[in-house]
Every structure is written in structure tokens, then in C-alpha cells.
Amino acid sequence: MLTKHLAILFFALCPLLSASAADKPAHLFILTGQSNMAGMDPKLGFEPEAKIAFPDADVAYIKVAVGGMPIRYWVDEWNDIATMLKDHPNAKSVTFCWMQGENDSKTGLHAPYADALKQLIANLRRDLKRPDLNVVIGRISDHERINPPAWKVVRDAQVEVAKGDVHGAWVDCDDLNDKEIKGVMTNDLHYTKPGYELLGRRFVRQAKALIENQKPSENGRPE
């Protein structure tokens, strides 16, 4: 169960928050998901973009990603999670960045995906006592090789949940996985190095729009 990972997330974020300057706002990011989140190095795209987006604020993040992990292991009653923010009034925003869904598409667990994702978000908002938690969902790419109908269900669910949430946005990943394999251009399951960098930047750009009460990019590709 990933309760342990979320407990680690809590204890890891606390010192980062405590270090924030008293006169500076703090923007907190939780980067979670499976292999394509695990493959994203925040230092190559996320961090540089965050410095551009929030030059006068502290940005703290934690990444908890496990390859091949279906969503059902994330939807849990995380009763052992204490609030992260009660002693940190400068935490202006908290954003949950989600990059997961391939496993559910490949293993026939696609039907309840939308409801599971909504419950996951609701649980986080409850446990963190942040009803204003922003959510940026990475839509799984156009790989679609194993079970195309199920893959489409998850893709559609991710956009539906993001657009149906007042604090939600989504990120398009269809251009992040284009690889030449044996001379043939392929929509791979995993992304290229530039693709992972752009993924991090898109997460920050969509989050910035939500934080500033602006409309996030509707096509998932914020400039």
C-alpha cells in the first residue's frame, strides 16, 4: 500500500515548508503517479519553469512515483496523514500533479477510473485540509497498443475530471513520446528526455494559471 509513501511525503515536505522565508509565499507541489512520473526529472524542466513562474516565492515539491501502480492502491483512507499546512500560513497554494493510468488501461481496470480519480482528489483535499487544492492531470499518451478502447476510456476520464474540477487542469502528452525505433517513428509508452522536460514545464504552467485564477490551457499544451 502506498500509505507509507504518502507518510514519507508528509515528513519530507514539512522541513521544506519550515524553511520558507516568513515574508515569502510558498507554492507546494506533490508529483505523483507511475512510471512516466518516475521518469520525469524535476530538475530538468519542472524546477527551471517554477523559477520563471514564481520568481518571488518559495517552491517546494516532493515526488512519489511507483512504476506500474494501478490507481486502486492510491485510493485509501489515509487516516495517518496529518495536515501539512497548519503551521505554515505562507503556503499560498498546494498543487497535486498526477501522471498515471497506463496500468489501469492495460489490465482492464478502466471502467471505474473516473470515480477512483475523483475520490483520490477528494481524499487529498480532506487529509491536507485544503479544499482549494489544485489538480493538474497528465493525460496518458497516444501509445494505445494493448487495449485501445480501455486506453481511450482512461484518457477521456482524465480530461473529464480535470475540466469538471474548478481547481483542475490537464496536460497533453501525445507529443512527448515520439521515438524512432529501428527507423520507424513510434508512439512509445515512455517519453523522450525532452518529452519529460516539457511535461514538467507544462505541469508548472497549468498550475500557475490555476494559482493566479486564470483559465488554464484548454488543449493541455500551455505556452
Burial class (CB in 10 A: 0-12, 13-18, 19+), 193: exposed
pLDDT tens track for 113-134:
899 899 989 988 887 888 999 9
pTM: 0.85
Name the β-bridge partners of 187: 178
DSSP-assigned letters across all residues of 98-142: EE--HHHHHTT--TTHHHHHHHHHHHHHHHHT-TT-EEEEEPP-S
Q: Which of 30-34, 207-211, 216-220 has the lowest mean pLDDT?
A: 30-34
**Segment 30-82, tens digit of pLDDT:** 898 888 998 999 999 999 999 999 999 989 888 877 776 666 665 543 433 33
Q: What is the pLDDT of residue 57?
A: 92
Q: What are phi and psi of 158, to 5 degrees?
A: -65, -40
Domains of the chain: 3-211 (3.40.50.1110)
